[in-house]
Amino acid sequence: MQDKIKKIRIQSASEINLAENSKQLENFRIKYLGRRGEVTLLLKDLAKLSPKQRPQIGKLINDLKKEIDSSIKTRNEEIKLKSAEDGEGDWIDLTMPGVKLPEGHLHPTTAAIQEITEIFSKIGYTRERYPEVETDWYAFEGLNMPKDHPARDEWETFFFSPKIVLTPHTSSGQLREMEKGKLPIRMINISKCYRRQSDVSHTPMFYQFEGLHIDKNISIANLKGTIDYFIKEFFSGKREFRLRPFHFRFTEPSFEIDITCDICQGKGVLENGQKCRLCKEGWLELGGAGMVHPNVLKAGKIDPKKYSGFAFGWGVERVLMMKPGMNIDDIRMIYKNDLRFLEQF
């Protein structure tokens, strides 16, 4: 049987190599591998062998089968190429453009981060990045939130240990920036933040951008001017904003910034008389801001008698969702990695 295999191997190889067209090749395929082909018959003969011999011979036959199959394919390619070169058969247009690979684009959050960075860089702010794994001092205590202060509860924090946290906000970067000892400060810290929250308007990981401007004679007027500038640049269309008194431990006075809703144009009701589903009362909450608390300046080794400043910290995804026409009604969609969603941007 081994001799037979050998004979077929030599014979088939030379026949296939000499084939001149695909018709001939097909005939050889039938001759060897067809239902009554020579190799197929060999396989049938296997049954006659002793169980000891069967695996070894079976393997030889299978190898032969693969060999014949692959040389038929190779020869077929050669024949095709040759006929193309000779100008026969299929004509190949070498100038035809290739197949285009699908082109990706930036994730909407990345695009928003780039846009925010650019807007603030035009007025002299430098983008900074500060640690995502932070100590209690930078995340809370240095920001005027002593140990066990109830205000801390609002930042549903992930703790690594009692003193190490996943930073729940970018305000921790304020102290790190002040510690550099360079004044005046104009920074925009855009980083990942983490909180134990997940619902239509929260994801456990999200981005914030934190502005901090410290210099001599900085007042609320500067804060308002900066917010006005950002809103005009970032949100197209006419959007009003207001400062609503609020309380944060690290700013005094503190505000929440609201902007008018794009869907109802700040009226709270739609043209058909129904209440606006998005804002209900005409205003959407953008985020917190305020004048840096003297205790925070002191913690950052800055003399509050000589310097003052303002700060604001807003969610990147949140402002992105407020852009006109975004229509994202569940913030979690942004991080589901669903291409059907992402390709819309």
* Smaller CB separation from ligand DAH, 307 or 312: 312
* Smaller CB separation from ligand DAH, 12 or 174: 174
**Piece of the chain touching ligand DAH by CB under 6 A; list 231-239, 268-276, 297-305, 307-315:** 307-315
CB of residue 289 to ligand DAH, shortest distance in Å = 5
Burial 234-269 (b: 16+ CB within 10 A, else e): bbeeebebebeeeebbbbeebbbbbbbbbbbbbeee
- Our finding on whether 116 is near ligand DAH (CB under 6 A) is no
Taking the C-alpha atoms of residue 240 and residue 168, their distance in angstroms, rounded to an integer, is 29
- Our finding on whether 290 is near ligand DAH (CB under 6 A) is yes
- Our finding on whether 142 is near ligand DAH (CB under 6 A) is no
Sign of the alpha-carbon dihedral angle for 231, 236, 242, 244: negative
All residues at 6 or more sequence positions from 148 whose CB lies less than 8 Å from its CB, including other chains: none
CB of residue 210 to ligand DAH, shortest distance in Å = 5
CB of residue 143 to ligand DAH, shortest distance in Å = 8
- Our finding on whether 313 is near ligand DAH (CB under 6 A) is yes
Identified binder of ligand DAH from the candidate list 71, 144, 157, 171, rule CB under 6 A: 171
- Our finding on whether 289 is near ligand DAH (CB under 6 A) is yes
User: Hey, which residues between 245 and 264 contact ligand DAH (CB under 6 A)?
Assistant: 248, 251, 254
All residues at 6 or more sequence positions from 21 whose CB lies less than 8 Å from its CB, including other chains: 79
DSSP annotation of 124: T
DSSP annotation of 199: B
* Smaller CB separation from ligand DAH, 206 or 235: 206
**Piece of the chain touching ligand DAH by CB under 6 A; list 21-29, 88-96, 98-106, 284-292:** 284-292
- Our finding on whether 210 is near ligand DAH (CB under 6 A) is yes
CB 316 within 8 A of CB 277: no
Taking the C-alpha atoms of residue 248 and residue 7, their distance in angstroms, rounded to an integer, is 91
Q: Which residue is nearest to ligand DAH (CB)?
A: 288
Which of 140, 156, 174, 157 shows the shortest CA–CA distance to 249?
A: 140
